[in-house]
Structure 1
Amino acid sequence: MADPRDDMPETQTVETEALAAIRRVRRTAFLSMTFERLWPLVLPLVILVALFAATSWFGLFPRMPGWLHMALLAAFAIAGLVALYLPTRLRIPKRSEIDHRLEAANLLVHEPISVQADAMASGQHDPFAKALWEEHRRRMADKLKDLQGGAPRPRIPERDPWGLRAGVALLFVTALAYASGPSGGSLSDAFHIRYGAGGVPPRIDAWVTPPRYTGRAPIFLTAQTNSENTSFTVPQGSVVAVRVIGGSGNETLTATGADGTGRDVQPAENDAATPSNGQAPAASSPTGVQNARNFQFPLESQTGLTLSGSGTLAKWSFAVIPDQPPLIRFTKDPSRALNGTLELSYSIDDDYGAAKGRADIVRAEKPAAAAHPLYKAPDVPLVLPRRGAASKEATTSKDITEHPWAGSEVRLTLAATDDAGQEGRSETKTLVLPERPFSNPLARAVVEQRRILALDANQRDHVLDMLSAITLRPEDTIKNATHYLALRSVYSRLKFARNDDQLRDVVAYMWQVARGIEDGQLTAAERRLRQAQEALKQAIQNGASPEEIEKLMAELRQAMQDFLREFAQRQQQNPNAQQALDPNMQMLTQKDLDRMMDQIENLAKQGSRDQAQQLLSQLENMMNNLQMGQNQQGQQGQQGQQGQMRQQMNKLGNLMRRQQEMMNETFRLDQQMQGQQGQEGQEGEQGRQQGQNGQQGQNGQMTQEQLAEAMRKLQQGQGQLQSELQQLMDGLKGMGMEPGQEMGEAGDSMGRAGEALGRAEGGEATDQQANALDALRRGARNMMQQMQQAMGENGPNGNRGQQSPDNRDPLGRPRTNTGPDFGDSVKLPGEIDIQRARQILEEIRRRLGNSLSPQVEKDYLERLLKFD
């Protein structure tokens, strides 16, 4: 039997390794058990610090009254002392506790770790017992391999079953992010205690910014001039801005409606309460000032605002002026100008001026269910009246003769939109869109087929059949081979068109062919004149440079001279030309044409494109007058009756002129009579004696008797005018025309004026003469309408293709062959007005370019340019 002591070295080695492993694992277990016992004691302190930091970073301390700030700070201090005391109750783990923890963590039985430190109680001298003990220790040491100390288990969920520690952590992270913003606080805020409820006295800045389009200046509610006012009237859409600097930081703004309901206005996120339109001046807060709060509130109806903090800080009430939608209506029926343009006369009335306008056009005849139009309705933007001008009337001329819808019956409605987005619409007019007149039958046929194809692409086969029929026997219908080839080209293009774009190209090509067929009849001078007019029109629309405008105007002048020279030669060769001329017709001289073209050039160079285009359109009308007048010479039907009517209208115009002169003379005599009475009151008895003796004063004025005698002479003239008016009315009745009620009113007013002149009552006589003159003008307009109807002038243009719709020449003056001037003649801008406008524009631009000019002045000047 071997001696157990032979294994002693091996047993000692195993024991040594086991003890070393136990020491290492004991240290790990010691740290884990210490953390498990320390963390529950330290966690309240960590939570308390996180809550304190979150409260500071959210900026809550500056917003608290002083007593609450101090109470909360004291609560944090007491809680902090308690939290600091808890870690002192830490109990250090003992060795037996550590061994027991290791044995439990590694699932060891029979206490193998404790055995390594134990000793034999007895039998130390017994070799067998000792060997047995050592064998037991060795076997227990073998179980101590790969010992684990175990993870710490603080058991926090048992102490916090609701997980409140997670909410504190989330609050801490959120407050840390919020602290980096402009409204965040800092830890130092907790130690800056503001005694009292209000802290720093608040500074209040408040203003109202009306919408930009109203042109009104902001209203400073807190200015010294408005400090005692609490009620204000502002336009709808204004924005009230309130800024509070300092104070308690808990100020609130409450808006109360007309029905008494109130709601709180939330403060703005940014630090500068500047409305979106950028018009309100933002009050800047001094550096380091805390608790700056900004409020914005739009005013759409009657509203009261109350700013509250430590009591009521300010209170205002606002009466809102509603923004009415624009009112647009026709002043005249849509008409066709001589040059083919569509003329729209209308008035637009809006609170602050319309922002844009348009003419909505729809086809009067409902298209077929399967119709496939290639073009939309023509776009006709409206010219807006100048903002702030007394007259709300405006006129828009749009050349749509090239549009495929030209010649179609449509329904036209005017629409105007203001800056607030409100829209107003006019009544609907039914009319035929103006189209370019074609005298050549072949050109008219091409244009007609072009319109059919443009309004419905499904009619392509029909148009092909019509083109084929037109070109079936060209030797009989088409004399010009070029025209025949052009029509066959249209046929080929239309036949091989595969999509809408190609069809639209065919429609455009058909228009070019029709123009080529028609314009081929024009002379070279007429063609150059039209080309020069079209080039100048395009240059004005595109805003060409003054040099280019000057060059095109020179070409237009030369083309105009060539055309007039050719026109004069044709007039001399026409034997009926002199007989066709009306002796009462108002003539246009070369001086008038030169002045008109100079005005077009000056307006175009200054950038007044609308006025330049209007004058250019009038010039085209004048040229069309000459051409159409030449084509209609020799047609003298109904000249006898028309001449008599014109003679009667001329008599009426002469009667109105004499009545005007008599009214002026009556007014002058009445003023002298009143002056004589005042002078007699001052000069006394001597002046009265001179008046009785029929002598004149030292200043050469007539006496009272002489003035009365002059008025009695005027009475005779007034009676003669009344008699001539009666004869005129009888003559009109003999021609089958009804003078109307206005003529009778004029005769009655003339009679009362004569009676007043007989009594030397100049003031009453002047009033009656003015009434008579007004009645004559109204009667003249009525006679004009009856005369036009008698001549067969029905519809918007009647049969007067060579006259403008309002009986005016191309320069805007009334024609002498259509009656007297009723006092509404159009005046073109004079040279002084143009120069003055140019000087004002240059001065505005110079002030805008000056960097030293205040921003308020620049904003005002920019608004002036926009209004212009």
Structure 2
Amino acid sequence: MDHENARTSALKSLLWPLRLTRIGLVAERATRAFWPLWSVLLGVAALLFLGLHDYAAQTVIWTGAGLVAVLCATLAYWGARRFRWPDRAEAAARLDATLPGNPIRALADTQAIGATDAASVAVWHAHIVRMADRAARARPVRPDLRLAARDPFALRYVALTAFVAALLFGSVWRAASVTDSFTAGPGAAIAAGPAWEGWIEPPAHTNRPALYLNDIAADSFDVPVGSRIALRLYGQPGDVTVTETLSAPAPLAGSEGETDTATDTAADTPAPEPDAPDTDTAAPVTDSMARSFAVAQAGELTIDGQGGRSWQIGVIGDAAPRVALDGAVEIEASGQMSQPFTAQDDYGVQSGRARFDLALDALPRRYGLTAAPEPRAPITVDLPMPISGGRDDFRETLIEDFSKHPWAGLPVRLQLSVLDAAGQEGLSEPMQMRLPGRRFFDPLAASLIEMRRDLLWTRTNGRRAAQVIRAVTWRPDGIIRDASTYLQIKLVLSQLEFENDRPGGLAAEARDRIAEDLWEIASRIEEGDLADALERLRQARDKLAEAIRNGATEEEIADLMQDYRQALSEYMNQLAQQQQQNPDQSQQQADNMMEMTGDQLQQMLDQLQQLMEEGRTAEAQQLLEQLQQMMENMQVAQGQSGQGQQNPGQQAMDDLAQTLRDQQGLSDEAFRDLQEQFNPGEPGQQPGQQPGQQPGQQPGQGQGQQGQNQPGQGQQPGQPGQPGQPGQGDGTQPGAPSAESLAQRQNQLRQELNRQSQNLPGAGTEPGQAARRALDDAGDAMDRAERDLQNDDLAGAIDNQAQAMEALREGMRNLGEAMAEQQGQQQPGQQGQSMGQADPNGRRDPLGRESGTEGELGSNENLLQGEDVYRRARDLLDEIRRRSGDQERPEVELDYLRRLLDRF
């Protein structure tokens, strides 16, 4: 039957709730019956853990123990009488009381009346099913452990607090000493205390913690070698003895090499007491002895007497550090060397040094090196150590420059050494090498450096060095190209000959001074400081050719190739400026001179570098000679030949202005697309048309400006929106390009800016560098705007485009300052002439002033003078921007301000 199944299922589900409820009743009744007993026990335990019994008299201890025993027995009897074990019926009644309708009792009932009536039976069965459902949802009843009514003074909490405090500030083991209090008098426990104490202190560099011997339970353990063991012995002399075989054995008198076990007793003469951690014991010391020794070998430590112990102590060795060279030495063209190395140590390397010794056995003794060298100490430099991280295993690089050392270029032996904290040293395998130094490819510079080396080798080479230098300066034509260099060499020669003729010969101080002068002259010859660009180009060509013939390294050839490119670029720039300053003369010579474009020149340089990389030195030298001849007989073709060439600075300003206008137009189109996303156009309005704009009117054009060519509206060549430009497809409405088209046009605009940034004037000046940094920032902002357009994030693209335009304006301002500074250096006293020079085309700005040829505003008189010209111009531009952002101004004024910003 259904009701019987429901009854059986409900009774089974009540099994665990009834058990848990019964357990709760047991806990509840036990707590109420025995809380005084466990409160007293907790209080007594707190007193024992704190060791208060050690300070009490024996009578007090006996009396207290008796009272505690009687009190505990009384409370246990009282609690047992009050405690009554709950049965199943009580648990069922407690659980049934928490359920509505007492379903558990209902399940145990039977139908008293109406058993023969089918309707009454059906009602009874439904009642049983409903009660079974309620009983199945029964949950265990939580016990009521509240004792506030039975313990109004919270004595149980006082006992619990005292017990917790005793656990924190006392010791559980002190309770065991209460048995000694029943046999000893007052204070006996205090006087007893520990019989000995010991500590093991490992060396500081091991970073290991100190060990307290009294707490070590193991019979054997290991400690680092060099650890110091300190022992304290308490009590009467002879009560405790110490035997150890750990310290270094001492030889016996009359028998060298024999050892004996060291034995210390309490009767020995007390040694100075070492510092040791405080202990928990409060016992006063009647007599104390101390023993301290270092662990030098594995052995045994035995303490005989009260509480004696014995340990087998092993030794953890401290290995010597290791160091090794890791790879070949790398030498830069400037002479700086880089030598990688690795070092390891079990506890960490403390320091290291590199030593270079002259390898006389491998040195070819000829010319100035034939004489015996003067004594000179080996080269020693500190090895670099890691600033962060461990030093147990690391890799670093020794970077030094020994170009000025007398041994530069001579064979040496390199050996590295490292030390650990224990003073142990590790050495690397010696490596023979030539001491790296700067290589001089110019023959004159190389000869001066060789004489410098001979003088530093020994002062007896002074007369020979003077003879060689005099031979070099005898016929300087073709050897010494600069008169100032010739005079400097002659001055050094006269000083050297004068010092050689002095009594006692060449002095060490004079020798060092002459060697320094020779180094400066040779460096100046090698680097080249001539003002003439063609001479610089010849010197760069000679150095490169000399390096190719002598088999220089790839790094040296790459650096010299870069110097040659730079000298070639300077020569072409000066040639272009000369053509602009004298266009008529340049045009007359153009027929007899060779023309070459920049692309053709770049192809020849790339071919030259490729030949050098492939090792085809003969062909590279031939091409280098051809290129040099072309440079001496060429005319750089920039734009159209001879006439009508535009100043590079003005061309750069015009290109940047065009880029700014293109970026402004691209930003306007992105803004119109953003407006269309939130404000769809009115019926009949063309896509991209602003509200209130007349049909056919260009975006951004005012009511009174229709049909006029405004700046930034696509009237300049290459501006976005013009036919044939990227981003305008067939049939696309003006002002409504797709996001993909805008991103593509933004990419092309960024590439164009990168091209313009490569050939900016003003290199080497502060305004020129500031202009380049500003244009780099503009390129980064354009790149972010492109990504935003690809992701259809028009709002982010507009913000980045605004940053790009701001950076472009800043770059143009800095470029104008650089051009003005350059003109002021070239033509002193005429700084304002170019700014006030009228435009030959007669263009005027919106105020009616003439536009200068350098992209600056000019007039018939100097409006601003003094050092604050550029600061005043920047303030005016900031004021124009501020007013253009005020939308409450008349539309005519706002349109005028926008045109000013587009132009400048």
TM-score (norm 2): 0.34
Instruction: Give the number of the structure with larger relative contact order, counting CA–CA contacts within 8 Å between residues 6 or more apart.
Output: 1
